[in-house]
Amino acid sequence: MPHTTGRADTARAVVFSPLDGVGRAELVARRLTDAIVTGVLHDGERLPSESQLARSLGVAVVTAREALESLRDQGLLQTKRGREGGSFVTFDTDASARMLAERLRGTSRIELRDRSLFASAIAGTAAEVAVDRASDDDLAALEEIDRTADRATTAGARRAVGRFQLEVAAISQSPRLVREELRIQAETGSLLWLSLREPARRDRAHEVRRGVIAAIRAGDADAARHRTVEHIRSATEWLIDEKHRLDAAARTETSPSSGGGTLPPTD
């Protein structure tokens, strides 16, 4: 009856549970893969050296090297020798779409919903509290992020969503909400905002930003939370629909009885 275990025992279990589910090199590789896949690191950009990377991430140099090797194996990095050498990001839009599709297929609906719920809890509370804490300067900063948002590209739109949510978290004046928001964006952001590849969804993200700014200005905490949470919920539903399409297409492809096998258009 593990689910009837008393609270004290649960707390004890947490204390002695393993610190990391995966190895550190894998964590570093995943962080960098996400950054590349989402366009935070651009195609052709040079990464910091192994030792610089190790220092900034707080890991051993061998760990950083191992992570870079695995990225090289995935074809996300290319190493050039010589004075102008280093590790360069090699990633075009086709590769990006392919990898994200693979990742989406490998993630269960339960996990997608769970990640989305956690993201809503953080971003929603940040928006709610920001209403109480925002000064005119804070509102101006949010306006500026929306004004300069690049709505022409998927990566640009995703950066704008990320920057906006991070600024809202900072306005809430909670260091913990800021840290969690950053972590969620690094770990889940690439997948969660996949819907931004559709221009209509980018316009919607802009509408949501306008709505959240208006709610903060009006002192309406419920509306600020609601608009933030609804946005994440609808992005998640899009994602699950997309996963359904991809899974169905893959089944058709492998099934010998079917003559089909072409992917449905994703846009």
Partner 1 sequence: MYVDVDLPARDLATRIAAVLDPVFAAVDDWAERVGGALARLGDAHLPPTAAELDPLVHDLVAPALQEPDSLVTGAGLVAAPHFLADRPWHLAWWQSAGSGELRRLAVETDPEADAFRDHTALEWWRGPLREGRSHVTGPYVDYLCTDDYTVTITTPVRFAGIMAAVVGADLYVERLERVLLPVMEASGQPATLVNASGRIIASADARLATGALLRRDGFAAARDRAHEASGPVVLDGATTLQACGDTSLLLVIGR
Tell me which residues touch partner 1 (CB under 8 A): 40-42, 56, 132-135, 137, 144, 166, 169-170, 173-175, 178-179, 182
The DSSP bridge partners found for residue 46 are 88
Q: Are 68 and 47 in contact (CB under 8 A)?
A: yes
Please say which residue, 40 or 212, places its beta carbon nearer to partner 1.
40
User: How far apart are CB 170 and partner 1 at their closest, in Å?
Assistant: 5
Please say which residue, 37 or 104, places its beta carbon nearer to partner 1.
37
Buried-state track 145-161, b at ≥16 Cβ within 10 A, e below 16: bbeebeeeebbbbbbbb
Please say which residue, 129 or 249, places its beta carbon nearer to partner 1.
129
User: How far apart are CB 31 and partner 1 at their closest, in Å?
Assistant: 14
Give Rg (Cα) of the chain: 21
Nearest one of 206, 205, 228, 204 to 216, comparing CA atoms: 228
Beta strands in 52-104 (DSSP E): 77-80, 86-89
User: How far apart are CB 96 and partner 1 at their closest, in Å?
Assistant: 16
Please say which residue, 56 or 79, places its beta carbon nearer to partner 1.
56
**Rounded to whole angstroms, what are the CA distances from 166 to 87, 95, 185, 191, 207?**
29, 28, 9, 17, 17
Q: Are 234 and 186 in contact (CB under 8 A)?
A: no
User: How far apart are CB 208 and partner 1 at their closest, in Å?
Assistant: 21
Please give the backbone phi and psi of residue 160, each rounded to the nearest 5 degrees, phi first.
-65, -40
Nearest one of 75, 73, 71, 53 to 62, comparing CA atoms: 53
Measured distance CA(201)–CA(205) in Å, rounded: 6
Q: What angle do CA 233, 159, 137 make, to 5 degrees?
A: 95
Measured distance CA(184)–CA(38) in Å, rounded: 13
User: How far apart are CB 50 and partner 1 at their closest, in Å?
Assistant: 16
User: How far apart are CB 149 and partner 1 at their closest, in Å?
Assistant: 15
User: How far apart are CB 266 and partner 1 at their closest, in Å?
Assistant: 26
Please give the backbone phi and psi of residue 46, each rounded to the nearest 5 degrees, phi first.
-90, 130
User: How far apart are CB 143 and partner 1 at their closest, in Å?
Assistant: 12
Q: Which two tokens stand for residue 54?
A: 């190790």
Please say which residue, 64 or 170, places its beta carbon nearer to partner 1.
170
